[in-house]
A and B are shown apart, each in its own frame.
Chain A
Amino acid sequence: MTSFIFADPWLCHTVHRMSLEPAELARYSRHLSLREVGVSGQEKLKAARVLVIGAGGLGSPALLYLAAAGIGTLGIVDFDTVDISNLQRQVLFTTADIGVSKAQAARDKLLALNPHLHIELHAEALTAANALNILAGYNVIVDGTDRFTTRYLVNDACVLLHKPLVSAAIHRFEGQAFTYVPKRSPCYRCLFPEPPPEGAVPNCAEAGVLGVLPGVMGTLQATEVIKLITGMGEPLLGRLLTYDALDLRFAELKFVARSDCAVCGTQPSITALHDSPESCDTGSLQQISATELHALLQQPVTHQLIDVREPHEYAAGHIKGARNIPLGTLTAAVPAPIDTSKPMVFICRGGGRSTQACAWAVSQGAQQVLNLQGGTLAWQQAIEPDMNVI
Protein backbone atom coordinates (compact mmCIF):
# COMPACT_ATOMS: atom_id res chain seq x y z
CA MET A 1 0.00 0.00 0.00
CA THR A 2 1.39 3.38 -0.94
CA SER A 3 0.32 6.80 0.21
CA PHE A 4 1.07 10.31 -0.87
CA ILE A 5 -0.03 13.80 -0.02
CA PHE A 6 -2.48 16.01 -1.82
CA ALA A 7 -3.93 19.41 -1.12
CA ASP A 8 -7.69 19.42 -1.29
CA PRO A 9 -9.49 22.49 -2.64
CA TRP A 10 -11.97 22.53 0.25
CA LEU A 11 -10.10 21.08 3.18
CA CYS A 12 -7.72 23.58 4.73
CA HIS A 13 -5.02 21.05 5.44
CA THR A 14 -3.24 18.26 3.66
CA VAL A 15 -4.50 14.72 3.72
CA HIS A 16 -2.79 11.50 2.71
CA ARG A 17 -4.14 9.55 -0.21
CA MET A 18 -4.05 5.76 0.01
CA SER A 19 -4.03 3.30 -2.83
CA LEU A 20 -6.83 0.77 -3.18
CA GLU A 21 -6.59 -2.99 -2.82
CA PRO A 22 -8.15 -5.25 -5.50
CA ALA A 23 -11.17 -6.03 -3.34
CA GLU A 24 -11.75 -2.33 -2.84
CA LEU A 25 -11.59 -1.65 -6.57
CA ALA A 26 -14.53 -4.03 -6.97
CA ARG A 27 -16.43 -2.68 -3.97
CA TYR A 28 -16.19 0.92 -5.10
CA SER A 29 -16.56 0.28 -8.83
CA ARG A 30 -19.64 2.51 -9.13
CA HIS A 31 -17.70 5.35 -7.60
CA LEU A 32 -14.72 4.66 -9.82
CA SER A 33 -16.99 4.97 -12.84
CA LEU A 34 -17.84 8.52 -11.83
CA ARG A 35 -15.36 10.90 -13.40
CA GLU A 36 -15.86 13.24 -10.44
CA VAL A 37 -14.68 10.56 -8.00
CA GLY A 38 -12.60 8.01 -9.88
CA VAL A 39 -9.61 6.22 -8.38
CA SER A 40 -8.13 9.49 -7.19
CA GLY A 41 -11.26 10.50 -5.28
CA GLN A 42 -11.70 7.04 -3.82
CA GLU A 43 -8.13 7.08 -2.57
CA LYS A 44 -8.82 10.39 -0.88
CA LEU A 45 -11.87 8.91 0.81
CA LYS A 46 -9.77 5.98 2.01
CA ALA A 47 -7.16 8.29 3.46
CA ALA A 48 -9.69 10.55 5.17
CA ARG A 49 -10.46 10.60 8.87
CA VAL A 50 -14.02 11.66 9.65
CA LEU A 51 -15.48 12.10 13.13
CA VAL A 52 -19.22 11.66 13.65
CA ILE A 53 -20.45 13.15 16.91
CA GLY A 54 -23.60 11.37 17.99
CA ALA A 55 -24.56 7.92 16.70
CA GLY A 56 -28.24 8.76 16.79
CA GLY A 57 -30.85 9.70 14.21
CA LEU A 58 -28.46 11.77 12.12
CA GLY A 59 -25.33 9.80 12.90
CA SER A 60 -26.84 6.47 11.88
CA PRO A 61 -27.41 7.20 8.19
CA ALA A 62 -24.34 9.41 8.01
CA LEU A 63 -22.13 6.63 9.38
CA LEU A 64 -23.70 3.97 7.18
CA TYR A 65 -23.17 5.96 3.98
CA LEU A 66 -19.70 7.13 4.95
CA ALA A 67 -18.73 3.55 5.73
CA ALA A 68 -20.23 2.30 2.48
CA ALA A 69 -18.46 5.08 0.60
CA GLY A 70 -15.10 3.92 1.88
CA ILE A 71 -14.04 6.60 4.36
CA GLY A 72 -10.85 5.04 5.68
CA THR A 73 -11.17 6.02 9.32
CA LEU A 74 -14.42 6.79 11.07
CA GLY A 75 -14.45 8.13 14.60
CA ILE A 76 -17.65 7.85 16.64
CA VAL A 77 -18.43 9.92 19.72
CA ASP A 78 -21.35 8.63 21.76
CA PHE A 79 -21.60 7.78 25.44
CA ASP A 80 -25.14 6.43 25.31
CA THR A 81 -26.62 2.95 25.07
CA VAL A 82 -29.28 1.79 22.62
CA ASP A 83 -32.83 2.29 23.88
CA ILE A 84 -35.91 0.74 22.33
CA SER A 85 -37.24 4.22 21.52
CA ASN A 86 -34.15 4.83 19.33
CA LEU A 87 -35.04 2.09 16.86
CA GLN A 88 -37.79 4.07 15.13
CA ARG A 89 -35.08 6.17 13.40
CA GLN A 90 -31.58 5.07 14.39
CA VAL A 91 -31.16 2.54 11.61
CA LEU A 92 -27.69 1.45 12.66
CA PHE A 93 -29.16 -0.58 15.48
CA THR A 94 -31.42 -3.59 15.88
CA THR A 95 -33.61 -4.89 18.69
CA ALA A 96 -30.73 -7.13 19.77
CA ASP A 97 -28.64 -4.02 20.48
CA ILE A 98 -30.93 -2.67 23.21
CA GLY A 99 -28.82 -1.87 26.24
CA VAL A 100 -25.55 -2.10 24.29
CA SER A 101 -23.14 0.82 23.92
CA LYS A 102 -24.10 2.74 20.78
CA ALA A 103 -20.48 3.26 19.83
CA GLN A 104 -19.69 -0.46 20.05
CA ALA A 105 -22.88 -1.55 18.31
CA ALA A 106 -22.19 0.98 15.56
CA ARG A 107 -18.66 -0.34 15.08
CA ASP A 108 -19.92 -3.90 14.67
CA LYS A 109 -22.52 -2.88 12.09
CA LEU A 110 -20.16 -0.69 10.12
CA LEU A 111 -17.40 -3.29 9.97
CA ALA A 112 -19.95 -5.86 8.83
CA LEU A 113 -20.86 -3.46 6.05
CA ASN A 114 -17.28 -2.64 5.11
CA PRO A 115 -14.37 -4.56 6.65
CA HIS A 116 -11.83 -2.23 5.03
CA LEU A 117 -12.67 0.51 7.54
CA HIS A 118 -10.82 1.53 10.63
CA ILE A 119 -13.21 2.56 13.42
CA GLU A 120 -12.18 4.63 16.41
CA LEU A 121 -14.55 4.79 19.38
CA HIS A 122 -14.93 7.66 21.81
CA ALA A 123 -17.57 6.29 24.17
CA GLU A 124 -17.69 9.43 26.28
CA ALA A 125 -19.57 12.70 26.39
CA LEU A 126 -17.98 15.51 24.42
CA THR A 127 -16.97 18.25 26.83
CA ALA A 128 -14.91 21.41 26.83
CA ALA A 129 -12.14 19.39 28.45
CA ASN A 130 -11.85 16.69 25.75
CA ALA A 131 -13.32 18.23 22.59
CA LEU A 132 -10.15 19.74 21.17
CA ASN A 133 -8.14 16.56 21.72
CA ILE A 134 -10.77 14.36 20.11
CA LEU A 135 -11.54 16.60 17.13
CA ALA A 136 -7.90 17.39 16.40
CA GLY A 137 -7.29 13.93 14.98
CA TYR A 138 -9.81 14.18 12.15
CA ASN A 139 -10.13 15.90 8.78
CA VAL A 140 -13.88 16.54 8.81
CA ILE A 141 -16.36 16.73 11.69
CA VAL A 142 -20.02 15.68 11.41
CA ASP A 143 -22.38 17.11 14.02
CA GLY A 144 -25.29 14.82 14.84
CA THR A 145 -25.74 15.85 18.46
CA ASP A 146 -29.10 16.38 20.11
CA ARG A 147 -28.48 19.28 22.45
CA PHE A 148 -27.56 22.90 22.03
CA THR A 149 -24.62 22.89 24.44
CA THR A 150 -22.81 20.24 22.42
CA ARG A 151 -23.81 21.86 19.13
CA TYR A 152 -22.17 25.15 20.14
CA LEU A 153 -19.20 23.32 21.64
CA VAL A 154 -18.59 21.46 18.37
CA ASN A 155 -18.90 24.65 16.34
CA ASP A 156 -16.47 26.52 18.56
CA ALA A 157 -13.99 23.63 18.57
CA CYS A 158 -14.08 23.42 14.77
CA VAL A 159 -13.44 27.15 14.45
CA LEU A 160 -10.58 27.05 16.94
CA LEU A 161 -9.03 23.97 15.28
CA HIS A 162 -9.74 25.14 11.70
CA LYS A 163 -11.71 21.98 10.98
CA PRO A 164 -14.50 21.67 8.40
CA LEU A 165 -17.88 20.96 9.98
CA VAL A 166 -20.96 19.40 8.45
CA SER A 167 -23.91 20.15 10.69
CA ALA A 168 -27.57 19.15 10.73
CA ALA A 169 -30.44 19.32 13.20
CA ILE A 170 -34.00 18.06 13.29
CA HIS A 171 -37.31 18.80 15.01
CA ARG A 172 -40.58 16.94 14.38
CA PHE A 173 -40.90 17.20 10.57
CA GLU A 174 -38.23 19.86 9.90
CA GLY A 175 -34.53 19.58 9.25
CA GLN A 176 -31.70 22.07 8.83
CA ALA A 177 -28.19 21.60 7.46
CA PHE A 178 -25.16 23.69 6.63
CA THR A 179 -21.44 23.22 6.10
CA TYR A 180 -18.63 25.26 7.59
CA VAL A 181 -15.15 25.50 6.10
CA PRO A 182 -12.67 27.67 8.02
CA LYS A 183 -11.83 30.99 6.42
CA ARG A 184 -14.30 30.32 3.60
CA SER A 185 -17.70 30.47 5.23
CA PRO A 186 -19.67 31.66 8.25
CA CYS A 187 -19.97 29.43 11.31
CA TYR A 188 -23.02 28.39 13.33
CA ARG A 189 -22.64 31.35 15.69
CA CYS A 190 -22.72 33.70 12.69
CA LEU A 191 -26.24 32.41 12.08
CA PHE A 192 -27.45 31.85 15.64
CA PRO A 193 -25.11 33.75 17.99
CA GLU A 194 -26.49 32.24 21.19
CA PRO A 195 -28.52 29.15 22.06
CA PRO A 196 -32.18 29.62 22.94
CA PRO A 197 -33.44 29.73 26.50
CA GLU A 198 -33.90 26.37 28.11
CA GLY A 199 -37.07 24.71 26.89
CA ALA A 200 -37.74 27.19 24.09
CA VAL A 201 -36.91 24.54 21.51
CA PRO A 202 -37.72 21.04 22.76
CA ASN A 203 -35.51 18.17 21.65
CA CYS A 204 -36.69 15.05 19.84
CA ALA A 205 -37.51 13.23 23.09
CA GLU A 206 -39.93 15.97 24.03
CA ALA A 207 -41.26 17.14 20.68
CA GLY A 208 -41.12 13.91 18.72
CA VAL A 209 -39.56 13.38 15.32
CA LEU A 210 -40.62 11.62 12.14
CA GLY A 211 -38.31 8.62 12.00
CA VAL A 212 -37.34 9.01 8.38
CA LEU A 213 -36.46 12.72 8.75
CA PRO A 214 -32.94 12.20 10.15
CA GLY A 215 -32.44 9.67 7.36
CA VAL A 216 -32.76 12.48 4.84
CA MET A 217 -30.66 14.96 6.80
CA GLY A 218 -27.94 12.50 7.83
CA THR A 219 -27.61 11.37 4.24
CA LEU A 220 -27.18 14.98 3.17
CA GLN A 221 -24.41 15.27 5.75
CA ALA A 222 -22.64 12.22 4.35
CA THR A 223 -22.95 13.74 0.88
CA GLU A 224 -21.31 16.95 2.04
CA VAL A 225 -18.44 15.06 3.65
CA ILE A 226 -17.76 13.10 0.47
CA LYS A 227 -17.83 16.33 -1.54
CA LEU A 228 -15.42 18.06 0.82
CA ILE A 229 -12.95 15.19 0.71
CA THR A 230 -13.04 14.60 -3.02
CA GLY A 231 -13.29 18.29 -3.86
CA MET A 232 -16.28 17.85 -6.13
CA GLY A 233 -19.37 20.01 -6.30
CA GLU A 234 -20.34 23.03 -4.24
CA PRO A 235 -20.58 22.56 -0.50
CA LEU A 236 -23.37 24.10 1.52
CA LEU A 237 -21.33 27.11 2.60
CA GLY A 238 -23.11 30.22 3.86
CA ARG A 239 -26.41 28.56 3.05
CA LEU A 240 -28.84 27.11 5.54
CA LEU A 241 -30.79 24.31 3.91
CA THR A 242 -34.18 23.72 5.47
CA TYR A 243 -36.34 20.71 4.76
CA ASP A 244 -40.01 20.35 5.58
CA ALA A 245 -40.94 16.70 5.27
CA LEU A 246 -44.69 17.30 5.46
CA ASP A 247 -44.78 19.67 2.50
CA LEU A 248 -41.70 18.08 0.94
CA ARG A 249 -40.22 21.51 0.55
CA PHE A 250 -36.59 22.57 0.63
CA ALA A 251 -35.50 26.17 1.14
CA GLU A 252 -32.05 27.66 0.94
CA LEU A 253 -31.33 30.74 3.05
CA LYS A 254 -28.07 32.62 2.80
CA PHE A 255 -26.12 33.87 5.77
CA VAL A 256 -22.79 35.63 5.99
CA ALA A 257 -19.84 35.74 8.34
CA ARG A 258 -20.31 38.30 11.10
CA SER A 259 -17.35 40.48 11.96
CA ASP A 260 -18.67 40.52 15.53
CA CYS A 261 -19.04 36.73 15.73
CA ALA A 262 -17.93 35.62 19.20
CA VAL A 263 -15.78 32.81 17.86
CA CYS A 264 -14.86 33.48 14.21
CA GLY A 265 -15.16 37.28 14.15
CA THR A 266 -12.36 39.79 13.99
CA GLN A 267 -12.11 40.13 17.76
CA PRO A 268 -13.41 36.84 19.12
CA SER A 269 -14.37 36.60 22.77
CA ILE A 270 -14.29 32.80 22.62
CA THR A 271 -10.68 31.71 22.35
CA ALA A 272 -10.93 28.55 24.42
CA LEU A 273 -13.69 26.06 25.16
CA HIS A 274 -15.82 26.26 28.25
CA ASP A 275 -18.74 24.08 29.28
CA SER A 276 -21.84 26.19 29.43
CA PRO A 277 -25.29 25.50 30.76
CA GLU A 278 -28.01 24.60 28.28
CA SER A 279 -29.77 27.81 29.06
CA CYS A 280 -28.35 31.28 28.68
CA ASP A 281 -31.29 33.37 29.72
CA THR A 282 -33.83 31.57 31.81
CA GLY A 283 -34.16 34.86 33.62
CA SER A 284 -36.01 34.81 36.88
CA LEU A 285 -37.58 31.39 36.31
CA GLN A 286 -38.24 29.71 39.64
CA GLN A 287 -37.52 26.00 39.84
CA ILE A 288 -39.00 23.52 42.27
CA SER A 289 -37.52 20.06 42.78
CA ALA A 290 -39.65 16.92 42.89
CA THR A 291 -39.01 16.57 46.62
CA GLU A 292 -39.99 20.17 47.27
CA LEU A 293 -43.14 19.80 45.20
CA HIS A 294 -44.04 16.63 47.08
CA ALA A 295 -43.70 18.53 50.36
CA LEU A 296 -45.72 21.42 48.96
CA LEU A 297 -48.54 19.08 48.00
CA GLN A 298 -48.82 17.88 51.58
CA GLN A 299 -50.01 21.39 52.46
CA PRO A 300 -53.54 22.68 51.76
CA VAL A 301 -53.78 22.99 47.99
CA THR A 302 -53.07 26.47 46.73
CA HIS A 303 -51.02 25.83 43.60
CA GLN A 304 -52.44 24.93 40.22
CA LEU A 305 -50.59 21.90 38.84
CA ILE A 306 -50.53 22.08 35.06
CA ASP A 307 -49.09 19.20 33.06
CA VAL A 308 -48.22 20.52 29.59
CA ARG A 309 -47.38 17.18 27.99
CA GLU A 310 -49.44 15.66 25.21
CA PRO A 311 -52.61 13.74 26.25
CA HIS A 312 -51.10 10.31 25.58
CA GLU A 313 -48.14 11.11 27.83
CA TYR A 314 -50.46 12.39 30.55
CA ALA A 315 -52.67 9.31 30.24
CA ALA A 316 -49.70 6.99 30.73
CA GLY A 317 -48.97 8.51 34.12
CA HIS A 318 -49.18 11.85 35.87
CA ILE A 319 -48.85 13.55 39.23
CA LYS A 320 -52.08 13.32 41.17
CA GLY A 321 -54.06 16.53 40.94
CA ALA A 322 -52.32 17.79 37.82
CA ARG A 323 -54.50 19.15 35.06
CA ASN A 324 -53.51 18.38 31.47
CA ILE A 325 -53.20 21.34 29.11
CA PRO A 326 -50.74 20.52 26.29
CA LEU A 327 -48.26 23.30 25.67
CA GLY A 328 -49.62 24.10 22.23
CA THR A 329 -53.17 24.36 23.55
CA LEU A 330 -52.09 26.39 26.53
CA THR A 331 -50.22 29.05 24.60
CA ALA A 332 -52.72 29.30 21.76
CA ALA A 333 -55.87 29.58 23.86
CA VAL A 334 -57.64 32.92 24.18
CA PRO A 335 -58.37 33.80 26.89
CA ALA A 336 -55.63 32.00 28.79
CA PRO A 337 -57.03 28.78 30.31
CA ILE A 338 -55.33 29.39 33.66
CA ASP A 339 -55.93 31.71 36.56
CA THR A 340 -52.87 33.96 36.49
CA SER A 341 -53.70 35.37 39.89
CA LYS A 342 -53.03 32.02 41.60
CA PRO A 343 -49.65 30.33 42.02
CA MET A 344 -48.94 27.57 39.55
CA VAL A 345 -46.48 24.75 38.86
CA PHE A 346 -45.83 23.63 35.31
CA ILE A 347 -44.92 20.01 34.65
CA CYS A 348 -43.66 18.11 31.61
CA ARG A 349 -41.50 15.06 30.97
CA GLY A 350 -38.04 16.53 31.45
CA GLY A 351 -38.53 20.19 32.27
CA GLY A 352 -38.18 21.67 28.79
CA ARG A 353 -41.75 22.29 27.71
CA SER A 354 -42.70 23.36 31.22
CA THR A 355 -39.96 25.99 31.11
CA GLN A 356 -41.53 27.31 27.95
CA ALA A 357 -44.94 27.30 29.64
CA CYS A 358 -43.49 29.25 32.56
CA ALA A 359 -42.14 31.93 30.24
CA TRP A 360 -45.51 32.14 28.53
CA ALA A 361 -47.38 32.39 31.86
CA VAL A 362 -45.10 35.21 33.01
CA SER A 363 -45.77 37.00 29.72
CA GLN A 364 -49.49 36.69 30.53
CA GLY A 365 -49.01 38.46 33.84
CA ALA A 366 -48.69 35.50 36.18
CA GLN A 367 -46.60 36.36 39.23
CA GLN A 368 -46.06 33.06 41.02
CA VAL A 369 -44.83 30.52 38.51
CA LEU A 370 -42.78 27.44 39.31
CA ASN A 371 -41.16 24.90 37.00
CA LEU A 372 -40.86 21.28 38.09
CA GLN A 373 -37.15 20.70 37.61
CA GLY A 374 -36.52 17.51 35.68
CA GLY A 375 -40.24 16.98 35.08
CA THR A 376 -42.05 13.71 35.65
CA LEU A 377 -38.78 11.84 35.14
CA ALA A 378 -37.41 13.50 38.27
CA TRP A 379 -40.72 12.89 40.08
CA GLN A 380 -40.58 9.22 39.12
CA GLN A 381 -37.03 8.92 40.38
CA ALA A 382 -37.52 10.76 43.67
CA ILE A 383 -41.14 10.24 44.64
CA GLU A 384 -43.11 7.73 42.62
CA PRO A 385 -40.95 4.93 41.14
CA ASP A 386 -44.00 3.11 39.76
CA MET A 387 -45.16 6.06 37.70
CA ASN A 388 -45.23 5.30 33.99
CA VAL A 389 -43.38 8.01 32.08
CA ILE A 390 -43.23 7.80 28.30
Chain B
Amino acid sequence: MGDHRIMSCTVRVASPLRSYTHNAASVSATGSTLHEVLADLERQFPGIRFRMIDEQERIRQHIRLYVNTTMAADLSQAVAPGDTVHLICALSGG
Protein backbone atom coordinates (compact mmCIF):
# COMPACT_ATOMS: atom_id res chain seq x y z
CA MET B 1 0.00 0.00 0.00
CA GLY B 2 2.83 2.35 0.88
CA ASP B 3 4.51 1.73 -2.48
CA HIS B 4 1.25 2.46 -4.29
CA ARG B 5 0.97 5.80 -2.58
CA ILE B 6 4.55 6.66 -3.47
CA MET B 7 4.02 5.84 -7.15
CA SER B 8 0.58 7.43 -7.39
CA CYS B 9 -0.18 9.89 -10.15
CA THR B 10 -3.26 11.95 -10.93
CA VAL B 11 -5.19 11.06 -14.04
CA ARG B 12 -7.42 13.67 -15.64
CA VAL B 13 -10.16 11.85 -17.49
CA ALA B 14 -11.62 13.10 -20.77
CA SER B 15 -15.35 13.69 -20.65
CA PRO B 16 -16.29 10.83 -23.04
CA LEU B 17 -14.39 8.36 -20.83
CA ARG B 18 -16.00 9.36 -17.55
CA SER B 19 -18.76 6.82 -17.91
CA TYR B 20 -16.07 4.35 -16.83
CA THR B 21 -14.88 6.36 -13.83
CA HIS B 22 -18.35 6.90 -12.36
CA ASN B 23 -18.20 10.46 -13.75
CA ALA B 24 -15.02 11.28 -11.85
CA ALA B 25 -12.97 13.89 -13.71
CA SER B 26 -9.85 13.03 -11.78
CA VAL B 27 -8.69 9.67 -10.42
CA SER B 28 -5.50 8.24 -8.96
CA ALA B 29 -3.46 5.48 -10.53
CA THR B 30 -0.11 3.86 -9.99
CA GLY B 31 2.68 2.93 -12.35
CA SER B 32 6.09 4.07 -13.53
CA THR B 33 5.13 4.06 -17.23
CA LEU B 34 1.96 4.87 -19.12
CA HIS B 35 1.61 1.17 -19.82
CA GLU B 36 1.48 0.47 -16.08
CA VAL B 37 -0.80 3.41 -15.35
CA LEU B 38 -3.28 2.24 -17.97
CA ALA B 39 -3.13 -1.28 -16.58
CA ASP B 40 -4.02 0.09 -13.17
CA LEU B 41 -6.84 2.16 -14.65
CA GLU B 42 -8.18 -0.96 -16.38
CA ARG B 43 -8.07 -2.81 -13.05
CA GLN B 44 -10.06 -0.02 -11.40
CA PHE B 45 -12.35 0.78 -14.33
CA PRO B 46 -12.78 -2.25 -16.60
CA GLY B 47 -13.12 -1.43 -20.27
CA ILE B 48 -11.50 2.00 -20.17
CA ARG B 49 -8.18 0.91 -21.68
CA PHE B 50 -9.75 -0.49 -24.84
CA ARG B 51 -11.30 2.91 -25.53
CA MET B 52 -7.80 4.39 -25.72
CA ILE B 53 -5.55 1.59 -26.95
CA ASP B 54 -6.24 -0.60 -29.97
CA GLU B 55 -5.56 -4.29 -30.49
CA GLN B 56 -2.05 -3.50 -31.76
CA GLU B 57 -1.22 -1.67 -28.52
CA ARG B 58 -1.25 1.68 -30.30
CA ILE B 59 -2.82 4.83 -28.93
CA ARG B 60 -6.01 5.35 -30.91
CA GLN B 61 -5.92 8.14 -33.46
CA HIS B 62 -8.57 10.23 -31.72
CA ILE B 63 -6.95 9.84 -28.30
CA ARG B 64 -3.85 11.66 -27.01
CA LEU B 65 -2.13 10.84 -23.75
CA TYR B 66 -0.07 13.46 -21.97
CA VAL B 67 2.24 13.16 -19.00
CA ASN B 68 2.06 16.63 -17.53
CA THR B 69 2.39 18.75 -20.69
CA THR B 70 4.32 16.21 -22.79
CA MET B 71 2.43 14.23 -25.41
CA ALA B 72 3.27 10.54 -25.23
CA ALA B 73 4.31 8.84 -28.45
CA ASP B 74 3.72 5.40 -26.98
CA LEU B 75 3.02 3.61 -23.74
CA SER B 76 6.66 3.43 -22.67
CA GLN B 77 6.51 7.07 -21.58
CA ALA B 78 7.78 7.35 -18.00
CA VAL B 79 5.44 8.54 -15.28
CA ALA B 80 6.85 9.88 -12.03
CA PRO B 81 5.10 10.09 -8.67
CA GLY B 82 3.00 13.24 -8.53
CA ASP B 83 2.76 13.56 -12.31
CA THR B 84 -0.54 14.35 -13.97
CA VAL B 85 -1.61 12.11 -16.83
CA HIS B 86 -4.15 13.69 -19.19
CA LEU B 87 -6.43 11.40 -21.18
CA ILE B 88 -7.49 13.58 -24.11
CA CYS B 89 -10.23 12.59 -26.51
CA ALA B 90 -11.29 14.38 -29.69
CA LEU B 91 -14.68 16.04 -29.21
CA SER B 92 -17.19 16.85 -31.89
CA GLY B 93 -19.95 18.77 -30.14
CA GLY B 94 -20.71 22.31 -31.18
On A, residues with C-beta under 8 Å from B are 54, 56-59, 143-148, 151, 168-176, 191-196, 200-204, 207, 209, 214, 240, 242, 244, 246-247, 251-255, 327-328, 331-332, 334, 360, 363
Contacts and interface: CB of A to CB of B under 8 A. Distances in A.
Nearest to B66: A253
B39 interface: no
Interface stretch (B8-16, B29-37, B75-83): B8-16
Nearest to B16: A201
A57 B92 CA distance: 12
B47 A331 contact: yes
Given A247-B25, A334-B46, A192 B71 contact: no
B15 A146 contact: no
Contacts of A176: 88, 91
Given A169-B91, A253-B69, A174 B62 contact: no
A251 B68 CA distance: 10
Main SS at interface, chain B: loop
Nearest to A201: B16
Contact of A207 (B47, B50, B93): B93
Contact of B88 (A54, A146, A214, A242): A242
A338 to B, nearest CB: 13
B19 A195 contact: no
30 contacts: A56-B94, A59-B94, A144-B94, A146-B94, A169-B90, A169-B91, A170-B93, A170-B94, A171-B16, A172-B18, A191-B64, A192-B90, A193-B61, A195-B61, A196-B61, A201-B91, A202-B16, A204-B94, A214-B94, A244-B25, A247-B25, A253-B86, A254-B70, A328-B19, A328-B20, A331-B20, A331-B46, A331-B47, A360-B50, A363-B47
A57 B19 contact: no
Contacts of B88: 176, 240, 242, 253
B78 to A, nearest CB: 18
B94 A196 contact: no
Contact of B46 (A175, A255, A332): A332
B92 A174 contact: no
Contacts of B19: 327-328, 331-332
B45 A332 contact: yes
A173 B12 CA distance: 14
Given A171-B15, A201-B89, A196 B20 contact: no
Given A200-B62, A253-B69, A169 B47 contact: no
Contact of B92 (A147, A214, A247, A252): A147
Contacts of B5: none
Given A174-B14, A251-B86, A196 B62 contact: yes
B51 interface: yes
B61 A203 contact: no
Given A169-B94, A360-B47, A194 B26 contact: no
A195 B90 contact: yes
B92 A246 contact: no
B93 A332 contact: no
A217 B18 CA distance: 21
Given A201-B90, A204-B93, A247-B26, A192 B69 contact: no
Contacts of A331: 19-20, 46-47
Contact of A254 (B15, B22, B69): B69
Nearest to B60: A196
A138 B62 CA distance: 29
Contacts of A175: 91
B71 A57 contact: no
Contacts of A202: 16
B94 A194 contact: no
Given A54-B94, A173-B15, A200-B16, A194 B61 contact: yes
B51 to A, nearest CB: 7
Contact of B15 (A58, A143, A172, A196): A172
